[in-house]
Chains A and B, each alone.
Chain A
């Protein structure tokens, strides 16, 4: 299968992140190209989630540079990352529990809704048209993720697998150029994992979205990702296409341990 990757869209250079004396990330560099599925793997506590938090501005690294679409950024807030087209899902589901599936996904489009507060209070003209136009887009996402039957259910009442799907929907609603997925398949059974893989590949394929993915299921990672970066104790120990990484000595010892 021949796939076309674009330019480097995200370039991380010598990133170091500390919390007091704890070094979460040490001198990590890697890049992500347009339209690729880039996996980040590593044992527990390797710094994978911290890496995602650095990319979308929740954490600010003490050292290093981040170039997104050629633009350097030093310190940015999460909502600025969102305006630049970076969306994400969380390891522990971070949905808005009190709201329906529909409202959760609609919230993902809030950056594109521009009516002012008075128009909204009257719910008339532009505000209502906008609400309906975005509802149409959201319904497309609901169709895509096959969650039509639960659209009005409060998300707190949904089973775990569906909640993960709704969270993906909320991220997709923003029509991101880059999607960060933090363990999208954790705790799922085989069928649910297959569904989720299908959605991720379809998103990548149909919308051309660049995907950065953290996942523990090696089968999934090796199957769907284009390139893999391996972290251990906050350091990068491997980077490359799945076959390369699979045969990397450091990676094998990090996962299986070494004999002394």
Chain B
């Protein structure tokens, strides 16, 4: 009954075109931001930031980037891990080789390098589609795995093959404590989520979706497939590259190429599919599902006071997690975001069926 838009009349197109046209949604999102920015830093424990919130935020950002490519433009990619790696190693090299390189600048430059590599590996998309393209993007994955392992210049001739960064700071504020790392990630994620949302509701976003839904019709109304597909690759790999920088610098601190293996690409693709293709909130829901649910399942017997050995729990987590993936995909193949919007639609009419 509370979730009603009755009486909320729009008198301008600007008001009708805002991201959250319904008043209650604006309140909800404001509340969420207050919780994330103010309440969390006050109540969260170190473990909570380090093991749950930070990886959740960074993987959300990577999933957001991938969703632009897969969900909005319809180009399947299995090279996400590679583009994250390019971002991370490029930013590392900028930090190591240029004195006094600010973190934000290194992060954006890392993103730009990922963009270049992303566009390069996006070129096959002009000729091949669907699953064949997915296989072609695997090339990016194998190439970067090889390059960062074998070309020592990228790792600054580190003997172990592992590289690390320390003493991160932004505008003189050190990013060392879990809370500061969390807030830094949160700001970056919020900014990129807003930019991505703006893109997908603009002309370029409609071009991407047009190419995804019906490429012949898109070409006939004047959309150049080359431009639409390559911009999707560019924007997507930029965001994914930035997420790679955060993952390496903020979450891991020290890393080797295995941190961005094909497993990471698959994990992100699953997040996007389970969260909801072609939806910004889907990236967050998918990341939450993949990151939070195993942890919750892991802790559940403990919270409920059921005595169980850790090994049994670990097995059960795998079984239940797998079953839940299947369950959600059967209930709603379009992902959690779709489930969420259907729920909202029902709530607007509740208690009436129509």
Q: Which residues of A contact B (CB under 8 A)?
A: 56, 58, 77-79, 81-83, 87-88, 90, 94-99, 103, 106-108, 110-111, 113, 115, 117, 120-123, 127-128, 130-132, 135-136, 139, 170-171, 174
Contacts and interface: CB of A to CB of B under 8 A. Distances in A.
Contacts of B13: 131-132, 135-136, 139
A113 B14 contact: no
B75 to A, nearest CB: 15
A107 B198 contact: no
B346 interface: no
B235 interface: yes
Contacts of A107: 206-207, 209-210, 218, 221, 223
Interface string B220-234: 111110000001000
Interface in B143-193: none
B221 A171 contact: yes
B306 interface: no
A242 to B, nearest CB: 28
A197 to B, nearest CB: 23
A81 B222 CA distance: 8
B222 A131 contact: no
Interface in B228-272: 231, 235
Contacts of B195: 121-122
13 contacts: A88-B220, A95-B213, A95-B217, A96-B212, A97-B214, A99-B213, A113-B203, A117-B235, A120-B203, A121-B195, A127-B202, A131-B203, A174-B221
A174 B217 CA distance: 13
Given A88-B220, A120-B202, A131-B17, 13 more contacts: A58-B216, A79-B219, A99-B206, A99-B209, A106-B206, A107-B206, A107-B207, A108-B221, A110-B206, A117-B235, A122-B198, A132-B14, A135-B17
A43 to B, nearest CB: 25
B219 A115 contact: no
B204 A120 contact: yes
A120 B207 CA distance: 13
Contact of A117 (B204, B206, B222): B204
Contacts of B214: 94-97
B220 A58 contact: yes
Contacts of A99: 206, 209-210, 213
Contacts of B212: 96, 98
A240 B336 CA distance: 58
B199 interface: yes
Given A108-B221, A117-B231, A98 B198 contact: no
B221 A98 contact: no
Nearest to B197: A123
Contacts of B282: none
B201 interface: yes
Contact of B202 (A111, A131, A170): A131
Contacts, number: 109
A60 to B, nearest CB: 14
B278 interface: yes
A-B CB proximity, top 9 nearest: A82-B222, A94-B217, A120-B202, A96-B213, A123-B198, A78-B219, A113-B203, A111-B222, A121-B195
Given A120-B199, A131-B17, A82 B231 contact: no
A170 B201 CA distance: 17
Nearest to B224: A79
A233 B213 CA distance: 33
B211 to A, nearest CB: 9
Contacts of A174: 221-222
Interface in B1-45: 12-14, 17
B223 A110 contact: yes
A90 B213 CA distance: 14
B192 to A, nearest CB: 10
B227 to A, nearest CB: 9
Contacts of B221: 82, 87, 107-108, 110-111, 170-171, 174
B213 A98 contact: yes
A85 to B, nearest CB: 10
Contacts of B202: 115, 120, 123, 127, 131
A128 to B, nearest CB: 7
A79 B222 contact: yes
A121 B199 contact: yes
A156 to B, nearest CB: 9
A96 B235 contact: no
B329 to A, nearest CB: 18
Contacts of B231: 117
Contact of A98 (B12, B17, B216, B278): B278
Nearest to B220: A78
Nearest to B225: A79
B282 to A, nearest CB: 13
A56, A106, A120: most-surrounded residue (chain B CB, <10 A):
A120
Given A96-B217, A122-B198, A174-B222, A103 B17 contact: no
